Amino acid sequence: MAEKKAIVNKIEREYIIPLREKSRPAPRYKKTPKAIKTIKEFVARHMKVENRDLNKVKIDKDLNQYMWAKGIRKHPHKIKVKVTKEGESIRVELVDYPNNLKFKKLREEKRGKTALESIDKKKSMMQKAKESLQKPADEDKNNDGLNDKEENEEKEKAGAEANQQFEKTQAKQAKHQTEKPKKATQPMRVSLQK
């Protein structure tokens, strides 16, 4: 029963919204903001938002980029959108993506996937590191400290290697942070040089 209510509350519709007529009387430097407001008003009217509250209508990032692509003075004169209403929130998305936005959207989706994969890898590495740290501690209890000298030697070697790596990174940073002497932009007058 709860699933049926969730399905009933979700409404999806596609609209072609005319923007030219509403933004024509607006000054040139306000045409695109007026067009965006027109989209929100149109959606609020057709999706029956209470009191036609424009704050409940959310425009998708890609739709916003498409609207602002030609700047503040020249917006598209009509636009095809997909409107999704879930409960109180209403989301407006672009239907027909132009080629440049398709590539941007695919790139962002790919970045999101790679970011999630890298996070998963880091989590698995951390778990492996925790497991490896716990295993030697358990083994030491069984050995009763027979390999204390070997452990100290390994710690000293690891410390020396870490110190060398730290010095290398500092040397690289110092190499790239060389400051150039500032040159005078204009020659000083002879009378001021005294």
Residues in the chain: 194
Q: In what order do the strands lie in the sheet with 10-18?
A: 10-18, 78-86, 89-94, 57-59
Q: Which CATH number is 22's domain given?
A: 3.10.440.10
E strands present in 87-187: 89-94
Question: 7 with 45, same domain?
Answer: yes
Question: 22 with 88, same domain?
Answer: yes
Question: 15 with 32, same domain?
Answer: yes
Question: 129 with 44, same domain?
Answer: no
DSSP assigned state of 24: T
Q: What is the pLDDT along the chain (194 residues), one digit of tens a residue?
A: 455 554 557 899 999 999 999 999 999 999 999 999 999 999 999 998 888 888 999 999 889 999 998 999 999 999 999 999 988 889 999 998 877 777 888 888 888 888 888 888 888 888 888 787 777 555 555 554 557 778 888 888 888 888 888 888 888 877 777 666 566 676 666 676 55
Domain of residue 107, residue span: 97-139
